[in-house]
A and B are shown apart, each in its own frame.
Chain A
Amino acid sequence: QVQLQESGPGLMKPSETLSLTCTVSGGSISSSYWSWIRQPPGKGLEWIGYISDTGSTNSNPSLKSRVTISGDTSKNQFSLKLRSVTAADTAFYYCAREDYDYSGGYFQHWGQGTLVTVSS
């Protein structure tokens, strides 16, 4: 059974760089695609980006200029960096594994989420 666990600071100041790590157990990050998804409190979901099994990355056009996603196969972890945060980046941040069938991908395995608050 795949399990994902997010970790990182809960409180940040504007203009800082948000850094989160997702630790994966029960599966290898060298297989499948691994995504970051966020949700501002009381609002909807937004896909941030993914890192693939080969280490390639892709991110939401609205965040692309500020996002870096990387992986560490030795620790079976993948990470998110979001630069120059503002209050609008306050959200629950989830990591998730993307599974596939013949027709497309879907997120069946999610972490529990971690709340990041940006405030001066």
Chain B
Amino acid sequence: QSVLTQPPSASGTPGQRVTISCSGSSSNIGSNTVNWYQQLPGTAPKLLIYSNNQRPSGVPDRFSGSKSGTSASLAISGLQSEDEADYYCTAWDDSLNGYYVFGTGTKVTVL
């Protein structure tokens, strides 16, 4: 079964830029759009980026997404303490009858 690969951790000091990668395959990221979710401790995931690079209303423009081929990235610029959270990418996978696959998750620490 497919899964999207993310680095387990990333960190930065306040104000720095942090980038998280998400690697997939031709049946998921290579064929469909990527969404990103932020999960604060003890809470449900929150939609951060959809359709590769779109921000829902209310999400700061410090968060940006991109996609190239079978990989995607989430960038956080001007890192803030409240950005310390887990981040997950996800995409639809076209194999079998189709299903959503999630990334392995990245814990972002603000030093």
> What is the total number of residues of chain A having a CB less than 8 Å from a CB of chain B?
23
Complex formed: what's the CA distance from A105 to B33 in Å? Answer: 8
Which residues of the partner chain B approach A44 to less than 8 Å between Cβ atoms? 88, 102-105
Which residues of the partner chain A approach B56 to less than 8 Å between Cβ atoms? 108
Tier of interface size on chain B: 20 to 34
Complex formed: what's the CA distance from A19 to B92 in Å? Answer: 26
Contact (A101, B51) CB under 8 Å given A44-B105, A47-B102, A106-B35: yes
Contact of A113 with B44 in the complex, beta carbons under 8 Å: yes
Which residues of the partner chain A approach B92 to less than 8 Å between Cβ atoms? 104-105
Which residues of the partner chain A approach B104 to less than 8 Å between Cβ atoms? 44
In the complex, what's the smallest C-beta–C-beta distance from B92 to chain A, in angstroms?
6
Contact of A61 with B33 in the complex, beta carbons under 8 Å: no
- A interface SS class: strand
Complex formed: what's the CA distance from A104 to B93 in Å? Answer: 12
Q: Which of B92-111 contact A (CB under 8 A)?
A: 92, 96-105
Which residues of the partner chain B approach A49 to less than 8 Å between Cβ atoms? 99
- Answer yes or no: A16 CB below 8 A from chain B CBs: no
Minimal Cβ-Cβ distance residue in B for A95:
B44
Minimal Cβ-Cβ distance residue in A for B102:
A45
Listed A/B pairs (8) with beta-carbon separation below 8 Å? A44-B88, A59-B99, A60-B99, A94-B45, A107-B35, A108-B50, A110-B44, A111-B44
